[in-house]
Amino acid sequence: MKAGVQLRVVIICLSLIGVGLALFKHLSVGYPFFPREKSAVWTIEAKINFEAKGEAVKVRFAVPGEQRLYGVLEESGASSDYGFIPAVPPEDGNSVYRTVTWAKEKAEGPQELYYRVNIFSRTVEERMRGEFEVVELDPAYTDGPVAVAADEVIATARKYSADMPSFTSKLNETLASDTNQNVQTLMAGKGSDLARTRVLLNLLLKAGYEAHLVRYIELGESASRVPLKSAVFVRHEGDRLLSEVGEIRPVDTERVLAWQRGGPALVELQGGKNAKVSFSVMEQQLPSEFVQQQSAMRSDKGLVDFSLLSLSIEQQNAYRLLLMIPFGALVVVVMRNIIGVKTSGTFMPILLAMAFLKTDLLPGICLFVVVVSSGLVVRSYLSKLDLLLVPRISAVVVVVIGIMVSFGILGSKFEVGLVQSVTLFPTIILAWTVERLSILWEEDGAREVAVQTGGSLIVALMAYAVMGNGMLRYQVFIFPEILLVVLAVILALGQYAGYRVSELIRFAPFFDRQKGGEA
């Protein structure tokens, strides 16, 4: 079979496989091609690190349950050779306090356990009534110097308040005072936020209000090392609010996921020590009907286990960017082989587009121009010192990195956001760019450098527009088999051997003269 025929067969097969797999996932699992009404879904991953003592290990970890604004879509635990017991609500049906459990016959040395839960935002119609955990007053606040100091602080707050919200606000204002002797007595030895929050909790309980401790996570954009904050949920008659110690205004509960309400410690560890918990959050906007279907499929996952959604959060964030690179490559193929735009290297525009995705577009372009121009100026000076090519280029790379570090320091010193963002700009891309442009300058001169740099920026901007498209990012992440179709298109364009658009424009006057001569 001839090469041309083989290529056509490969192109057709890739296209059919890609489209067929996407249709199968759409029809069998319910993944929609075009998201319509969106529901926010947050994937939260908790990593528990501890040191095992070489004996039997049992770890109980508090996890969130169904809440008024948020529901649990799916949860799972991962570990190495540990038995995992999923969270089960208490027998009375109250899901305020839930725990998962890991157990192992014997373990020694550093250990890592993972818990992951998908949280979805309820619609207004679905919102359920909030649960409440009953908490008793700490005995230390019933007698002794702590009780006397608490009574004084409560009396002061009552004097300047009219209801529960104003009382809580005034109480926090008083607790924020470092010179108040009663506050000093209450806060003595309370260095952590959790300990200080327990002081606020006990003051509210002593004042006669219903309150309990809440440890919560703010649900926002994707982030690593998200802090677990402490606050007090208090209610009285028709009023209810969430208050952080020392903060006069209540916490906005619209973006708050209560991870733990009351109950014992966040982590109960047997057979180990030094338990630490870190959280990562990734936000997605998924179609509401898909979220509802996934919620109903919790007991029968099917193909869901084989999707990218089953990977860890760090892996998902990495793949979201990697999956867009083939589309950037497609843009480069079209611009170079069909349009005829000159670029500095085949895939430098893709790397630049990836760098622009890490920063805002305009700051990224400005930083690119400033840093690359500075590097080329230094390179021009070094060429006068009669250095060999490789040492000269290496010196330019060192100088470029020095320029970026200097910009980062100046940005931090003078709080210039544009300059500060240079630290986010991938260093290796800039260094490699200056190296290529230096060699090009050495071989073809400054004019060719300007042409290819301008062409690279144009193609990078187009690749940035494609790679940053939200709809396309959603589709390729849910249906990664679309990349087979992209590969088929690239292979098809690889057979094109006709005139490029730039060549047609260049030779247009010649064709006009030919037509005039024939006439």
Q: How far apart are CA 290 and CA 294, in angstroms?
A: 6
Tally of domains within the chain = 3
Query: Is 109 within the bounds of a domain?
Result: yes
pTM higher than the cut 0.75: no
The total of other beta-carbon atoms located within 10 Å of residue 68's CB is 14
Instruction: Note whether 214 and 363 are same-domain residues.
Output: no
Instruction: Note whether 329 and 456 are same-domain residues.
Output: yes
Query: Is 514 within the bounds of a domain?
Result: no
Instruction: Note whether 391 and 432 are same-domain residues.
Output: yes
pLDDT tens profile 390-420: 787 778 778 777 877 776 676 666 655 555 4
Q: How far apart are CA 283 and CA 44, in angstroms?
A: 9
Query: Is 9 within the bounds of a domain?
Result: no
261, 282, 304: which is the final residue of a domain? 261
> 4-8, 60-64, 359-363, 494-498 — which one is most confidently predicted on average?
60-64
Instruction: Note whether 339 and 451 are same-domain residues.
Output: yes
At 113 the pLDDT is 93
Tell me which of 128-142, 156-170, 339-353 is least confident: 128-142
Instruction: Note whether 342 and 425 are same-domain residues.
Output: yes
Query: Is 428 within the bounds of a domain?
Result: yes
Name the E strands within 197-251. 210-218, 223-226, 229-236, 239-243
Q: How far apart are CA 463 and CA 457, in angstroms?
A: 10
Instruction: Note whether 340 and 457 are same-domain residues.
Output: yes
Instruction: Note whether 108 and 179 are same-domain residues.
Output: no
Q: Are 49 and 275 in contact (CB under 8 A)?
A: yes
Average pLDDT, the chain: 79
Q: Are 61 and 308 in contact (CB under 8 A)?
A: no
Instruction: Note whether 85 and 202 are same-domain residues.
Output: no
Pairing of strands 83-85, 70-78: unpaired
Q: Kindly tell me the burial class for residue 519, based on how many C-beta atoms sit within 10 Å of its own C-beta (0-12, 13-18, 19 or more).
A: exposed
Any idea what the CATH number is for the domain that residue 47 is in?
2.60.40.2250
At 32 the pLDDT is 67
Q: Kindly tell me the burial class for residue 433, based on how many C-beta atoms sit within 10 Å of its own C-beta (0-12, 13-18, 19 or more).
A: buried
Mean pLDDT along residues 324-335: 90
421, 437, 467: which is the final residue of a domain? 467
Instruction: Note whether 338 and 450 are same-domain residues.
Output: yes
pLDDT exceeds 50 at position 128 = no
Q: Which two tokens stand for residue 495?
A: 């057979």
Query: Is 173 within the bounds of a domain?
Result: yes
Instruction: Note whether 116 and 199 are same-domain residues.
Output: no
Instruction: Note whether 117 and 193 are same-domain residues.
Output: no
Rounded to 5°, angle at Cα 16 from 303 and 308: 30
| Distance in Å from the first CA to the final CA of the chain | 47
Q: Which two tokens stand for residue 413?
A: 């010193």
At 299 the pLDDT is 40
What residue numbers bound the domain in which 283 lies?
A: 38-130+266-296
